[in-house]
Structure 1
Amino acid sequence: MTLTELKHLYARQDLVEALVEPSINSGYIVEFRHRGGGLVPLTDITGSEQCYDDVDSATQQAFDVGFQQVRIADEY
């Protein structure tokens, strides 16, 4: 989901947690735990998962959605 779509879900209180974790390729991805279960990744408008070079950049995206705390997953 795009940043805008995720902001709407957050406003409706459908997202309960923000998570930054290492990408399979390189860098970091941002995912959000949905109230109904499962993880929703941050994507671009084409549906491709967004990847960030560092933890700080990825964390900022979760803050932009509205979260004040972000869980950082351990390296693989």
Structure 2
Amino acid sequence: MNINATLFGQVIVVFALLMAALGYYLGKRKTQSPNLTAVVAFFAALVPPLAIILLIVLVLKNDVQTSKT
């Protein structure tokens, strides 16, 4: 079975966008810089095992305390 390069590229782009969205969502709760977390997650999606490790680290990280005054 041949895998078309265009299809492979489209799958990677969709995975990268999904990772960026998940990175931003988890970054809002778990870090103080959700935008940076989303960018790192987007580029980590280019190497899928690295992206999965990033998600595991974010899920296991404790939530950031929000200071409401």
TM-score, reference length from structure 1: 0.28
- Name the structure with the higher helix share: 2
Task: Tell me which structure has the larger Cα radius of gyration.
Answer: 2
TM-score, reference length from structure 2: 0.30
